[in-house]
Amino acid sequence: MSWDEFGECMRFMLLFSRQGKLRLQKWYLATSDKERKKMVRELMQVVLARKPKMCSFLEWRDLKVVYKRYASLYFCCAIEGQDNELITLELIHRYVELLDKYFGSVCELDIIFNFEKAYFILDEFLMGGDVQDTSKKSVLKAIEQADLLQEEDESPRSVLEEMGLA
């Protein structure tokens, strides 16, 4: 790991359920598979053990963790020591708003069944751990355009074909 990888940026973002099921993970710093699993397990334990009224920030390893629970889902970001905690908390909120707007009152199931969409929306919003655009309109416009492209080039298929039985 080189020095420069330690610049100020988000290290990773995780979405997991109350039951400790990982729903989405985005890593902004090259991390080995083994290390990722270990970190996810460890951090989930720490966060799930916390009580509702506790503060949304905690020190974990050499990082600061900012998390917030929305219904059954925890949204959790790891940032560097110098980064702004509150703005990261709102970054989570903005992402939830984007999901909500896109899916129409989003729930955990939407994210499970459309996980790729959840990734696409996150990617429009954040890139390499930094905010790309904070405007809700810009982000959603980009996603909707992509959906339009998708509908155009999707040819109709029979149900059987869809299920891989054709």
Partner 1 sequence: MPAVSKGDGMRGLAVFISDIRNCKSKEAEIKRINKELANIRSKFKGDKALDGYSKKKYVCKLLFIFLLGHDIDFGHMEAVNLLSSNRYTEKQIGYLFISVLVNSNSELIRLINNAIKNDLASRNPTFMGLALHCIASVGSREMAEAFAGEIPKVLVAGDTMDSVKQSAALCLLRLYRTSSDLVPMGDWTSRVVHLLNDQHLGVVTAATSLITTLAQKNPEEFKTSVSLAVSRLSRIVTSASTDLQDYTYYFVPAPWLSVKLLRLLQCYPPPDPAVRGRLTECLETILNKAQEPPKSKKVQHSNAKNAVLFEAISLIIHHDSEPNLLVRACNQLGQFLQHRETNLRYLALESMCTLASSEFSHEAVKTHIETVINALKTERDVSVRQRAVDLLYAMCDRSNAPQIVAEMLSYLETADYSIREEIVLKVAILAEKYAVDYTWYVDTILNLIRIAGDYVSEEVWYRVIQIVINRDDVQGYAAKTVFEALQAPACHENLVKVGGYILGEFGNLIAGDPRSSPLIQFNLLHSKFHLCSVPTRALLLSTYIKFVNLFPEVKPTIQDVLRSDSQLRNADVELQQRAVEYLRLSTVASTDILATVLEEMPPFPERESSILAKLKKKKGPSTVTDLEDTKRERSVDVNGGPEPAPASTSAMSTPSPSADLLGLGAAPPAPAGPPPSSGSGGLLVDVFSDSASAVAPLAPGSEDNFARFVCKNNGVLFENQLLQIGLKSEFRQNLGRMFIFYGNKTSTQFLNFTPTLICSDDLQPHLNLQTKPVDPTVEGGAQVQQVVNIECVSDFTEAPVLSIQFRYGGTFQNVSVQLPITLNKFFQPTEMASQDFFQRWKQLSNPQQEVQNIFKAKHPMDTEVTKAKIIGFGSALLEEVDPNPANFVGAGIIHTKTTQIGCLLRLEPNLQAQMYRLTLRTSKEAVSQRLCELLSAQF
Q: Of 113-142, which residues contact partner 1 (CB under 8 A)?
A: 113-117, 119-120, 123, 127-138, 142
User: How far apart are alpha carbons 72 and 161 in whole angstroms?
Assistant: 35
Contact 140, 101 (CB under 8 A): yes
Rule CB under 8 A: say whether 37 interacts with partner 1: yes
Burial of 74 (0-12, 13-18, 19+ CB in 10 A): buried
Rule CB under 8 A: say whether 96 interacts with partner 1: no
Interface residue with partner 1 among 72, 90, 100, 101 (CB under 8 A) is 90
Interface residue with partner 1 among 5, 18, 38, 42 (CB under 8 A) is 5
Rule CB under 8 A: say whether 100 interacts with partner 1: no
Rule CB under 8 A: say whether 158 interacts with partner 1: no
Rule CB under 8 A: say whether 93 interacts with partner 1: yes
Rule CB under 8 A: say whether 87 interacts with partner 1: yes
In the region spanning residues 50 to 69, those forming contacts with partner 1, defined by CB under 8 A, are: 51, 53-59, 61-62
User: How far apart are alpha carbons 89 and 94 in whole angstroms?
Assistant: 9
